[in-house]
Structure 1
Amino acid sequence: MSLFNDKYGRNGVKTADSEFIQRFNRVQEGGDPAEFFEWLTDVAERSKMRTSVRKSVGTNVVRDVDKFKTEYENRKTGKSFRIWSSKFPALDKAIGGYVSSNMYVVYGKSGRGKSAITLEEVINCAVQGANVLIWSMEMGWFEVLVRIYVSLSGDQGVAITEIDGQQMEAGFDSRAVRQGKLSEEFEAAFMDFIKKLNTIIAGSITVRAVDDQDFDSRTLRDLKADIQQTNADVVMIDPFYYLDYESNSNKTTGGAAADTSKKMRRLAGTMGVVIFAITQAGEDDGAVDEDGNREIKLPKRKDVMKTSALLQDAAVLIPVDTNAKEGRGLIGVNKGRDGGEDEVVEIVYLPQIGIIKQVASGATALNDFGF
């Protein structure tokens, strides 16, 4: 029996604390106390905002010119507004870089490189000076670090590899690093390389991974706390659909995912960070040519899976498709608030040796890499 059983006060009028009573009763009947206290915290924060005395509301177009000038100068010097360049020049030109306070959605079919491509982008942001926070909810921390180290070594060209007669600068072999089977010579070179990462990365990279023992709660409240603690500028959510979704306020199908997308977009704005949210694209059989090679084809806007709200909330929608066996791939723009839609970027895709880069334009094309 509930401690409180009166939903209504005198004269049958619903009381202000009736929701409190209902939620409290659910806890008494075996409900989740954590959910109850989270709701109490939200109520307290909203109450504090309502009761605080505001000196002004919003920004006055005429009177707040000095405020505008100050913000303009801050953006000019990069104090309050940052644009992080993409690793892929054509993509960077198409979307104008990754702008703080925005959410970018990267999507593709399972196993087609969406995590690898996004990781390349956030590593590149860290090299430029960004503090990067990675929420890896599928891969363990060691696997993520291997990918990061191999990627950076590929950019540095620590080794030379020959592919179909073409010599290319490459990095360490990811499988050998992952399995601890580097040769004695390469192991020494690898250990020396990771000691000098501070000379390559101007910012920082913090990884929260699926096998971290203290990473058992993955709400947007937890994400906000991690952003504050790491002073993050750029955040990677891999994948979006492994977050602990917000409550389904509208009680509609897919409402929890939609609410989470909207609130994450809002979080990017209030925290002034770039958020990369990774999700899946719808699967199909896939076309193959006469030789049995799979066609590389970018997914369409309608193929965004898990929630269509991601499509609406994204500043830019970035489809990805790759073929690691053939060493090539495509990155596109299916939605861009500042233009760039329908841009398609050809890339060399050899992540196992740290090579993920745009194919040079002009005389150099995919055929020059033997593909």
Structure 2
Amino acid sequence: MISEAERIKIGTSVLPKVGTDIKRDGDKFREEYARRKSGESFRVWKSKFNFINDRLGGYVSSNVYTVYGKSGRGKSVITLEEALEAACQGANVLIWAMEMGWFEVLVRIYVSLSARQGITTANMNGINLAAGFDSTELRYGKLSEEFEEAFATFVDSLNEFIPGNITVRGVDDDDFSNRSLKALESDILQTKADVVVVDPFYYLDYEKNTSKTTGGDAANTSMKLRRLAGRTKTVIFAITQADEGSEDKDDDGNRELKLPERNDVKKTSALLEDAYLLIGVDTDGEQGRGIIGLNKGRDGGEGLVGEIVYIPQVGIVREMETGMAAAAQFRGF
């Protein structure tokens, strides 16, 4: 009797609609199209590096972008540059810096932003480049009196210079003990973040390993981070490390720059699969240069590599000029 009653109940109930019907839901599609056209449904934040914009158009909300490289090779610097670029476009940026103190992160931010304003100049191979405050002087309170005054003026002008906002969670913040995805979501909602930096991914409080497999806790966390990006409609940059490997030097003794391979993603391979785009980084501050490459993208771009000028001590992290723009730099020399 009970089973028969359940059968009748199921047969006569009005079941909820499943999915989207391509024939009947045309209005639904057109409404979403209109929202996207007006920028209400999703946002695209332009990269600081034009070669990425030219190929991919920028960073699309609701996606995770994985940035990786060997230890000390500039992955945090490059990711921060992309986050600051978004803030300059009006994005609210949230930075979870889980291995750097808040003061160090702000030093990097101020140096980079002041370079965008050309507070100072730096000479590279006879070429004067717009630069920012010296990070070492700023970090240790060694700015000259003149530059201290310039720095105060610069900080006071940030509201006019940056239409967005930047919120930093540093490893030494007293209230930053909970590093779970639930806490991250709470911070995203509170700051109304559009762009999020998780640095590094493997310092998150991992989700429970429900699969009972090796590395399942990291894989489960990666999957839920991807869902979090979709649910909050944010761009999330997840930074992770690449395996160390052999290094080659040229005839002058300079280390040859080399992008990590896809299978060099360390800590969890799930980040490789869950990421919308995999971004490899290798830089050398001694040479003043670096390379950025796309190793996997859902919309293509794999194999794309760009060379950059890399002098982060004074905020110079920018794409190499080519063609007429490059020739213009040499006029007068």
- Normalization by structure 2: what TM-score? 0.91
1:134-181 Cα offsets, whole Å, 9 max, x none, are 000011111111111110111111112222321111111011011111
1:61 corresponding residue in structure 2: 22
How far apart in 2 are the matches of 1:310 and 1:206? Answer: 24
Matched, 1:111 2:75: no
Identify which of 293, 298, 311 aligns with 1:332. 293
How far apart in 2 are the matches of 1:202 and 1:80? Answer: 20
Matched, 1:237 2:204: no
How far apart in 1 are the matches of 2:210 and 2:106? Answer: 38
How far apart in 1 are the matches of 2:184 and 2:201? Answer: 12
Tell me whether 287-296 or 300-309 shows the greater mean CA deviation.
287-296
How far apart in 2 are the matches of 1:188 and 1:55? Answer: 65
How far apart in 2 are the matches of 1:80 and 1:334? Answer: 28
Tell me whether 238-247 or 158-167 shows the greater mean CA deviation.
158-167
1:26 corresponding residue in structure 2: none
1:308 corresponding residue in structure 2: 269
1:335-364 Cα offsets, whole Å, 9 max, x none, are 011111101100000000010000012256
2:144 corresponding residue in structure 1: 183
Offset at residue 301 of structure 1 (A)? 0.4
Consecutive unaligned residues in structure 1, runs of 5 or more: 1-52
Consecutive unaligned residues in structure 2, runs of 5 or more: 1-13
How far apart in 1 are the matches of 2:15 and 2:255? Answer: 61
| Mapping for residues 260-271 of structure 1, pairs under 5 Å | 260-271=221-232
Offset at residue 198 of structure 1 (A)? 1.1
How far apart in 2 are the matches of 1:258 and 1:95? Answer: 27
Pair member with larger Rg: 1
| Mapping for residues 1-371 of structure 1, pairs under 5 Å | 56-362=17-323
1:2-60 Cα offsets, whole Å, 9 max, x none, are xxxxxxxxxxxxxxxxxxxxxxxxxxxxxxxxxxxxxxxxxxxxxxxxxxx98644333
Equivalent AA in structure 2 for residue 258 of structure 1: A
SS at match of 2:231: helix
Contact (CA 8 Å) 1:96, 1:338: kept in 2 or not? no
- Normalization by structure 1: what TM-score? 0.82
Change (3 A) 1:54 1:102: farther
How far apart in 1 are the matches of 2:16 and 2:156? Answer: 52
How far apart in 1 are the matches of 2:284 and 2:204? Answer: 28
1:49 corresponding residue in structure 2: none
Equivalent AA in structure 2 for residue 326 of structure 1: Q
How far apart in 1 are the matches of 2:315 and 2:80? Answer: 12
Contact (CA 8 Å) 1:316, 1:333: kept in 2 or not? yes
How far apart in 2 are the matches of 1:54 and 1:186? Answer: 69
SS at match of 2:177: coil
SS at match of 1:263: helix
How far apart in 2 are the matches of 1:365 and 1:339? Answer: 28
How far apart in 2 are the matches of 1:200 and 1:64? Answer: 44
How many residue pairs align between the two structures?
Answer: 316
SS at match of 2:197: strand
How far apart in 2 are the matches of 1:196 and 1:56? Answer: 53
Q: CA RMSD in A?
A: 1.7
How far apart in 2 are the matches of 1:73 and 1:100? Answer: 17
Offset at residue 66 of structure 1 (A)? 2.2
